[in-house]
Amino acid sequence: MLHNSCMINVKAIRKDFPIFSHHPGLVYLDSAATSLKPQSVIDAQNKYLSQHSTNVKRGLYPLSEKTTKAVEQSRSKTASFIGGKPDEIIFTKNTTESLNLLAYVLEDKIFAKDSEIVTTIMEHHSNFVPWQQVAQREDAKFKIMKIDSEGKLNLDDLRKAVTKKTKIFALTYASNAIGTINDLKKIAQIVRKNNKDCLIIVDGAQGVPHLGIDISELDIDFLAFSAHKMLGPTGLGILWGKKTLLNELKPFMFGGEMIKTVKEDKSTFAETPHKFEAGTPPIGEIISFKESLDYIEQIGYKSIRNHELNLIKYITQQLNKSFQSKVTILGPQKAEERCGLLSFTINNIHPHDIGELLGKDNICIRAGHHCTMPLHNHLGIAASTRVSFNVYNDKDDIDQVILVLKEVIELFDK
Amino acid sequence: MNTNYKKHILDHYRNPHNFTKIDNPDYSLSATNPLCGDNIKIYLKLENDKISEVGFQGEGCAISIASTSIVTDFIKGKTIKQIKKINEEKVLQLLGTDIHPSRMNCALLPLEALNGILN
């Protein structure tokens, strides 16, 4: 991998991702769904499986000790990567499980009569439905903040939405559908001013991989994100929480690895974070995730952001130039205000038709509602077409999308 | 560009047959595909146990609209008993093009609507 401090050498980077040698000519623009994996991540997982595929904690022999050490090193790396502490990092299956875990353990602790939950219309279903369901079960008020015409939250609305009765404020760091980046620092300050006890829960699935995060600078309580969207393996999610809060919460699942003592009539549980990690974890995935974080750090978020901004600006320019009034770009119009993705609609051509026709030319994009049905309803559209970037994309990828899109439009306009 | 969007599919999409609402229908059958946001409503009128008038309205992708257009053509003059016999295989045969597995729900949307007759 070769690159200087700010420019990314895409050609060199692609050599690190073996999928490109298996599929020459692949145009992969669906990293918001899942990112591709570099060789170092694959090697680390293979190494665990082939050289020391033992369980964690239980074994008193060197191979198991090695595995336990590698898992805990990955936990430490994950913590330092986001500015947290190792014992605040809980390994889960994915962002969805992290958020559901929270919804489950918080429900009995905090709900009282007249409680409120506040969220936004731009949330992914995984940061919307769990809270909607808790609200329904507990008869709490479920408040959904709307967005302006550029897909942004109005901070005055936030000041009104969060009250003394608000127990939970659930918000995405960056929208997976329209790319809006939320200013977590400013938003957390507003929430705290209105209600210092309100729990601030952040879905970092899109924001963390593309923008990075330093939770030591943010007054939030919980953060959820997934390894597979940040060049890491599938099957691994992360839940970070403030230690004091995690200590107060009861376990979510019971079984192996999470107990201290078990007697016939009662059990006591391990300390945080282990009390939330029942059963054998995805060991190879946890170990290889450390390699993903190393890979990202080696490139650096400054370069990643710079690279993705250039691609966002370029595709915006090309879409507008090529299709003019036929294309509608959703979300913030300024590149700096969006995460590394862009969604659009073209005339009356259904995104699934666009997606299939691009797919036949080896171009992978996303078409549909991107698990944000309330947002698409709010926008008055059934679906949209999304392109999302990562370090292995370049302007040629965008040129190919534009080229085939022209043919698609021609086909439908005939 | 590689495409399985054959001319007849695109023709049906651009100018769907039977694309009209029918007043006082004997059957009004809806189907939606929440994944795509496709939604259609098929209207049927019977005379002597046979479909005398058929119409549909709705919105969707090229595959779902073309499929509904083709299927509504096919059921004209058929009896309810004959319509109940239409299965997935038949709809795909009528469409006459390869349908990708991920688009199967789009292609079978009219069948889902017609299954409403059973209820």
Question: Are residues A353 and B4, on separate chains, in Cβ contact within 8 Å?
Answer: no
Give the phi and the psi of residue A327 in degrees, each rounded to 5: -105, 140
Q: Whole-angstrom Cα distance, residue A385 to residue A346?
A: 9
Show residues of chain A in contact with B60, CB under 8 Å.
Answer: 350
CA–CA gap between residue A95 and residue A237 (Å, rounded): 5
Nearest in space to A118 (alpha carbons), one of A70, A69, A65, A171: A171
Residues A326, A330, A333: CA angle, nearest 5 degrees:
100
Cβ contact (<8 Å) for B36 and A352? yes
Q: A101: number of CA atoms within 13 Å, CB side?
A: 31
Output the pLDDT for position A3. Answer: 47
Q: Which of residues 133-152 of A touch B (CB under 8 A)?
A: none
> Is A414 touching B (CB cutoff 8 A)?
yes
Minimal C-alpha gap between A162 and chain B (Å): 32
- Tell me if chain B has a CB within 8 Å of the CB of A383: yes
Q: Which residues of chain A have pLDDT under 70?
A: 1-6
Say whether A353 and B62 touch across the interface (CB within 8 A). Answer: yes
Sheet holding A141-145, edge to edge: A89-92, A237-241, A222-226, A199-203, A166-172, A116-120, A141-145
- What local confidence, expressed as pLDDT, does residue A399 receive? 98
Question: Is B103 in Cβ contact with A352 (below 8 Å)?
Answer: yes
Q: Average pLDDT of B19-37?
A: 90
- Say if the Cβ atoms of A357 and B1 lie within 8 Å: yes
Cβ-Cβ pairs closer than 8 A, A with B, add up to 52
Catalytic residue numbers of A? Answer: 371
| Residues whose CB falls within 8 Å of the CB of residue A19, separated by 6 or more in sequence, listed in order | A26, A28, A36, A37
Give the closest-approach CA distance of A47 to chain B in angstroms: 35
Measured between CB atoms, which of A350, A360, A404 is closest to B62?
A350
Stretch 354-373 of chain A: residues touching chain B, C-beta under 8 Å: 356-357, 360-361, 368-369, 373
Closest C-alpha among A75, A72, A35 to residue A232: A35
- pLDDT for the residue A2: 44
**Dist CA A111 CA A100 (whole Å):** 16
Chain A: closest CA distance from residue B53 (Å)? 28
Q: How far is B14 from chain A (nearest CA, A)?
A: 8
- Residue B61 has its nearest CB partner, among A352, A361, A404, at A352
What's the whole-model pTM score?
Answer: 0.93
H helices within A62-127, ranges in order?
62-82, 95-110
Residue A410: Cβ-neighbour burial (10 angstroms; 0-12, 13-18, 19+): exposed
Chain A residues lying within 8 Å of B62, measured CB to CB: 350, 353, 412
